[in-house]
Structure 1
Amino acid sequence: MTVQSRRERPAKPALTRQGIIDAALQIMNAEGLRKVTMRRVATALDTGHASLYVYVRDAEDLHAQILDALLAPVVEATPPEGTWRDRLKALLIGYHTVLRERPELARMALSTQPSGPHYLALVEAILNLLHEGGADDRAAAWGVDMLLLYPTAIAVEHTQPKPARHASGDLDTLTAVLAEVDAARTPHIARLGHLLISGNPSTRADWALDVLLDGILHATPPPG
């Protein structure tokens, strides 16, 4: 067996932050976010894992950078026309889609605060649209968290999607329970049971965003 001299091997590409993120994305797409560790990425890049710490703080930071990279097209896809509310909803739906398609990232987003350039561009776009809609500065600044938390939480809710037959079975069970509640003990549930499970997910999500936006615009101004 002929052993190739190190001097004859092609030089490795210079290690960069973007190169680390690209390698992490490839691993996540192929094997899932749990496999995106500093050592796993270092192996993919043929380097020591200690070298990565020059560019990312730790695995949590690396995961946040993956999310930031995936957010790059979200702001760009916001329709240039339409009301400020419609454009803001489209922006938030785009954010939700990124997380819904990668549920492991959704769970991560609940506990890790992204701070990359594309996430900041998303926040900037939300603030701009809230300003266009007439929200005061403090309400807009505080409202951003609520607006991003809702699509994140909905994505987390579906991190372990059930087979369609199970989901249908759960709804059938809930429907049966609501139909048999004691009206004397739970009169509101008895009267509104059919409404509690009405509407499709898209319609309910659109309504929920309207509730949040109306609240941001019309709630009592927060204390200074």
Structure 2
Amino acid sequence: MTAAPRSRRERPAKPALTREGIVAAAVAILRAEGLRKVTMRRLAQELDTGPASLYVYVRNTDELHAAVLDELLGTVGPAPAEGDWRERLEKVLTAYTEMLFAHPSLARSALTARPSGPNYLRLVETLLGLLDAGGVPREQAAWGVDLLLQHATATAAEHAGEESPDEWQAVTRALREASAETHPHIAAGAGALLSGTPEARLSWAFRALLGGIERTAVPGAGADPAAGSH
């Protein structure tokens, strides 16, 4: 016996579209299928709607990816209460890097994505607060946050793909077998070039950058803007 067709009025109404719901669905697709699948068409299919209806809430795929990044920035916890300001800042940056490590495709996109949501603002505010606690001048702190996040993002993006053991072995062999006659500095420092764990190198990089940010003045900082140039 054939079932009678079901009236549209008997079907449960679809939940209204919201930007928050769209971003949440995009994050779910990212976790399950990777960022490449986070498209307007795939998202519309997931939400049982047409792609055109999504553009009311998100202008384009780039804005969608930036919103996804901002959503995941919410998983980066606040600065720990223990430790000096440098240690606390390093832990926040490490947590940010680890979040990107967990989502390799997003790590590459984060190099050009421009998040502007509440979680991004909270992260920047946290970093600026820690730099202020360390007595870093405001202009240097402002430029320094950009530099620190760039390095963390680039590090995650560099290791986002599946690293080929053959390629790494080729690099290692090239450095270790470099001729002292043609490449004396490489030959003398091959061990140092290849030393250290990724975690140790990331920690050192953050500390090295912080040292530079503390000591390097921003060009023109403190100058009277009304004075103009001569």
Q: TM-score, normalised by structure 2?
A: 0.89
Residue pair 2:140, 2:217 contacting (<8 A) in 1 also: no
d(CA) in 2 for partners of 1:171, 1:44:
39
- Does the residue aligned with 1:81 lie in a helix, a strand or coil? coil
Unaligned runs of 5+ in 2: 222-230
How many residues were matched structurally? 219
Q: In structure 2, what is the equivalent of residue 75 of structure 1?
A: 77
Q: In structure 2, what is the equivalent of residue 90 of structure 1?
A: 91
Q: In structure 2, what is the equivalent of residue 14 of structure 1?
A: 16
Q: In structure 2, what is the equivalent of residue 207 of structure 1?
A: 204
Q: In structure 2, what is the equivalent of residue 222 of structure 1?
A: 219
d(CA) in 2 for partners of 1:89, 1:99:
15
d(CA) in 2 for partners of 1:123, 1:116:
11
Q: Which of the residues 23, 26, 29 maps onto 2:28?
A: 26
Shift of 1:172: 4.1
Map 1:1-224 → 2, pairs under 5 A? 1-76=3-78, 78-162=79-163, 166-167=164-165, 169-224=166-221
Residue pair 2:85, 2:130 contacting (<8 A) in 1 also: yes
Shift of 1:175: 3.7
Letter in 1 for 2:29: I
Shift of 1:170: 4.2
Shift of 1:57: 1.2
d(CA) in 1 for partners of 2:17, 2:96:
30
d(CA) in 1 for partners of 2:207, 2:19:
39
d(CA) in 2 for partners of 1:149, 1:190:
31
d(CA) in 1 for partners of 2:128, 2:77:
12
- Does the residue aligned with 2:111 lie in a helix, a strand or coil? helix
Letter in 2 for 1:138: E
- Does the residue aligned with 1:181 lie in a helix, a strand or coil? coil
d(CA) in 2 for partners of 1:158, 1:119:
23
Residue pair 1:139, 1:222 contacting (<8 A) in 2 also: no
Shift of 1:12: 1.2
Residue pair 1:75, 1:125 contacting (<8 A) in 2 also: no
| Deviations 1:131-177, CA, capped at 9 Å, x for gaps | 11111111111111110011111111122123xxx43x444443433
d(CA) in 2 for partners of 1:43, 1:180:
54
Residue pair 1:75, 1:121 contacting (<8 A) in 2 also: no
- Does the residue aligned with 1:63 lie in a helix, a strand or coil? helix
Seq. identity, %: 52
- Does the residue aligned with 1:28 lie in a helix, a strand or coil? helix
d(CA) in 1 for partners of 2:81, 2:14:
43
Residue pair 1:80, 1:87 contacting (<8 A) in 2 also: yes
Shift of 1:71: 1.0
**Which structure carries more helix by proportion?**
1
Letter in 2 for 1:109: A
Unaligned runs of 5+ in 1: none
Residue pair 1:138, 1:222 contacting (<8 A) in 2 also: no
Q: TM-score, normalised by structure 1?
A: 0.92
Letter in 1 for 2:11: R
Letter in 1 for 2:200: T
Provide the aligned C-alpha RMSD in A.
Answer: 1.5
d(CA) in 2 for partners of 1:173, 1:52:
47
